[in-house]
Amino acid sequence: MSHPDASSLIVERVSVQYPGHTGHDAALRDVSLQINSGELVVALGPSGCGKTTLLNLIAGFLRPSQGRVLFEGQPVDGPAASRGVVFQDNALLPWLNVIDNVALGLKLQGVPAAERQARALAVLKEVDLDGFASHRIWQLSGGMRQRVGLARALAANPQLLLMDEPFAALDAFTREQMQELVLKLWQQTGKRILLITHDIEEAVFLASELILMSPRPGRIVSRIALDFSRRYIAGESARAIKSDPAFIATREHVLAQVFAQRGREFA
């Protein structure tokens, strides 16, 4: 692990055991992780390896059975605006229009109407949705809805953005567009990001640090530092990167590790 800065997110030897489970099949066992500023950490692993449990711990929706989670030097003991969450199903309110969905969290925080309007419009622009503020949610495509979910999380100006399989329901083309949007936002806002996925290519493309997880018990089995996302930010195209032999070799290496885990699981 690299050295933490004062604003790091630190997960320290955390275990989570849901009722009815033993240590052997704990959702998480002895997991440690750190997200420093400027990092885009991707957690990759098969269903049931504890990815959502890990994200829920960091979001403050869940408490560990053992270990602790610290953010900016303080224990995480509940949700906070500084840790924004983008959900897989985007969790938008269909009876509100786009801008009211984006501004909802600000309204709950008591931000005055004119300011929340201005901030919501600014983040809609960041996610390339200017012009859609008055649209109803049902008028939007799946990719646009995910952009609204992303804008809503960004509106509160979180220091850490937590994304739970945000593109799982999208078609391949829209998914690639959203990956590029995440990298653009990562570059422009400098926010640290934790994204969870079970898509190997997505993980290898986006991660500055990739953590590979394995189930029963949920744990981190390997960590790999990667630079494909920084190459994208430096100006190389996504297509050029994803067809580069170095990218393909890394993807195959990660795939082999995932299959090795599964072989062990079913042996």
Ligand X SMILES: Nc1ncnc2c1ncn2[C@@H]1O[C@H](COP(=O)(O)OP(=O)(O)OP(=O)(O)O)[C@@H](O)[C@H]1O
| Residue 92 and residue 137 in contact, taking contact as beta carbons nearer than 8 Å | yes
Output DSSP code: residue 61.
S
Q: Smallest gap, in angstroms, from Cβ of residue 8 to ligand X?
A: 23
Q: How far is the CB of 211 from ligand X (least distance, A)?
A: 12
What is the smallest separation between the CB atom of 97 and ligand X, expressed in angstroms?
A: 30
Question: Minimum distance between the CB of residue 18 and ligand X, rounded to whole angstroms?
Answer: 3
Which residue, 23 or 190, is less far from ligand X as judged by CB? Answer: 23
Q: Within the chain, where are the H helices?
A: 51-59, 98-108, 113-126, 142-155, 172-189, 200-206, 228-233, 238-242, 245-266
Q: How far is the CB of 180 from ligand X (least distance, A)?
A: 23
All residues at 6 or more sequence positions from 67 whose CB lies less than 8 Å from its CB, including other chains: 11, 12, 13, 14, 15, 30, 31, 32
The contact set with ligand X (CB under 6 A) reads 18, 27, 45, 47-53, 198, 218
Contacts of 90 (CB under 8 A, 6+ apart): 145, 146, 148, 149
Nearest residue (CB) to ligand X, 59 versus 154: 59
Q: State the minimum distance, in angstroms, from the CB of residue 168 to ligand X.
A: 9
CB-nearer residue toward ligand X: 65 or 177: 65
Nearer to ligand X among residue 138 and residue 266 (C-beta): 266
Cβ contacts of residue 220 below 8 Å, gap of 6+? 31, 32, 33, 211, 212, 213
Q: Which is nearer to ligand X, 101 or 146 (CB)?
A: 146
Positive/negative CA dihedral, 43, 16, 77, 47: positive
Exposed (0-12), middle (13-18) or buried (19+): which is 239, by Cβ within 10 Å?
A: exposed
Is 37 or 66 the residue whose CB approaches ligand X more closely?
66
